[in-house]
Amino acid sequence: MSDLAGVDWDLVVVGGGNAALCAAIEAAETGARVVLLEGAPEFYRGGNSRHTRNFRCMHRGPLSVLTDAYGEDEYYDDLIRVTKGQTDEGLARLAITTSEDCLPWMENHGVRFQPSLSGTLSLSRTNAFFLGGGKALVNAYYNTAEDLGVAIAYEAQVKHVVVTGGRFEAVEVEIGGERLTIRGRAVVLASGGFQSDLDWLARAWGPAARNFLIRGTPYNRGVVLKDMLDQGAESVGDPTQCHAVAIDGRAPQYDGGIVTRLDCVPFSVVVNRDGERFYDEGEDVWPKRYAIWGRLVAAQPDQVGYSLIDAKSRDLFMPSVFPPIEAGSIGELAEKMGLPREKVEATVAAFNAACRPGTFHPTELDGLATEGLEPAKTNWARPLDTPPYYGYSLRPGVTFTYLGLKVDDTARVTGPEGRYENVWAAGEIMAGSILGQGYLAGFGMTIGTVFGRIAGREAAAHVA
């Protein structure tokens, strides 16, 4: 590995996920000598990209697996809705309009798409799904990068980015216990956010964050982000916030990924540790609500919720990775889940009594609401009365953090004295510029691809 230090690289790419790979490939295609430093071991390479499944893409007509059309304004409106306006319009529109060219580029660099997965038909117009998911995309890009001669180092933890007078000189990196200085003429920082550093998360969000699960890679610890901010790089995004969804409470601490999601909430009664309901479970269809439930559960005692259903609802949602707790009565279910039996029985009895007859329709807002109950359940409110009963625990699962580096429309990073001469950033480490709040499915991969490619091209042009 020490031979990496002996080369004067044109471009050093810090990180090994989608954005990093797009940057490395673009630069290598111009003939630049590129080294990519991935902090994870080879198996876990690819950061959060390895857990992704699709790419949100603008298109004026049918494109690859995408049906119909998805125009710039509709895409932008969707973004405004989830971010509540907290975005940089110029960068956002750049990401959106460039996404259309990215899809064929991705296909030309080994990525394969497949039609929308079963159970996700609502995304078939807006999101192109990767055949095999994000890890297959990551594998394809690593193969492409290797074929282009990109040098790849795994378990290469960048500790410090050496910037002098607004100019990048080198990175200090630890590879297999050995500390090296790798010099380069330009750098692309694509090493993600800080959500895997629970201490940092707890300092930012509060001590309750120690009970959060991290949905993706354990390697996004924000070391490079912090190093750059300490050196005066300009930041964007709320430093205290993370994006969290409600996931299966039995998920592993890290890397549980897609399979730990639970889609049962709209058909259930959700109680907290004390056996009390705390929010309208039927406010909207689940794809529009799963994100707020991360926050809702995080606000409950011990950061945990319990979703209870009966046999009627068992087959209305995607299978869960862990089987539910099963019982013949609500009281027994409460006991098996470690909840106060009488309290849960009373909560469910009150809920059942507040349900009204009507037509239940699981796939649309059916208006089947409770009456005289606080908080109300405004759709899909059916009594829990058909054994067996099932229960799932819910915990907040953190997807990403919002704090990032400020970039311009060439993905160049801004330092204390204006833009750095030769420092670019792409992916989660700068996504806070565009996603100030909320999340739009498949948009993280769009930001990573668009800005990764821009960063790689700009950096290569700089050193040419």
Q: Which residues pair with 55 in a beta bridge?
A: 128
Interface with another protein in residues 215-234 (CB under 8 A): none
For 226, half-sphere exposure in the C-beta direction (CA atoms, 13 angstrom radius) is: 11
Structure tokens at 424: 């670019």
Nearer to another protein, 76 or 130 (CB): 130
Residue at token pair 């080369």: 7
Residue 64 makes contact with another protein by CB under 8 A: no
Asked if 16 interacts with another protein (CB under 8 A), we say no
Q: Which has the closest alpha carbon to 229: 405, 111, 98?
A: 405
317-336: which residues touch another protein (CB under 8 A)? 318-321, 323
For residues 379 and 282, the answer to whether their CB atoms sit within 8 Å is: yes
43 binds another protein (CB under 8 A): yes
Separation in Å, CA 28 to CA 10, 13, 138, 168, 460: 10, 11, 17, 19, 8
Nearer to another protein among residue 132 and residue 387 (C-beta): 132
- Applying CB under 8 A, among 122, 143, 181, 329 the residue interacting with another protein is 143
Spatial distance between the Cα atoms of 124 and 451, rounded to a whole number of angstroms: 24
What sign results for the dihedral spanned by CA atoms 424, 428, 434, 436? Answer: negative
Binding string, residues 235-274; x marks residues near another protein by CB under 8 A = -----------------x--x-xxx-x-------------
Rule CB under 8 A: is residue 132 a binding residue for another protein? Answer: yes
**Does position 458 bind another protein by CB under 8 A?**
no
| 292 in contact with another protein (CB under 8 A) | no
Which of 5, 80, 117, 202 binds another protein (CB under 8 A)? It is 117
Chosen residue from 130, 154, 286, 290 binding another protein by CB under 8 A: 130
Least distance to another protein from the beta carbon of 142, Å?
A: 8
CB within 8 A of 331, min separation 6: which ones?
341, 342, 344, 345
3-state secondary structure 139-194: HHHHHHHHHCCCEEECCEEEEEEEEECCEEEEEEEEECCEEEEEEECCEEECCCCC
Q: Which of 112, 250, 341, 343 binds another protein (CB under 8 A)?
A: 112
Is 87 or 399 the residue whose CB approaches another protein more closely?
Answer: 399
Residues in contact with another protein by the rule CB under 8 A: 43, 50-51, 53, 112, 114-115, 117-119, 129-136, 139, 143, 252, 255, 257-259, 261, 315, 318-321, 323
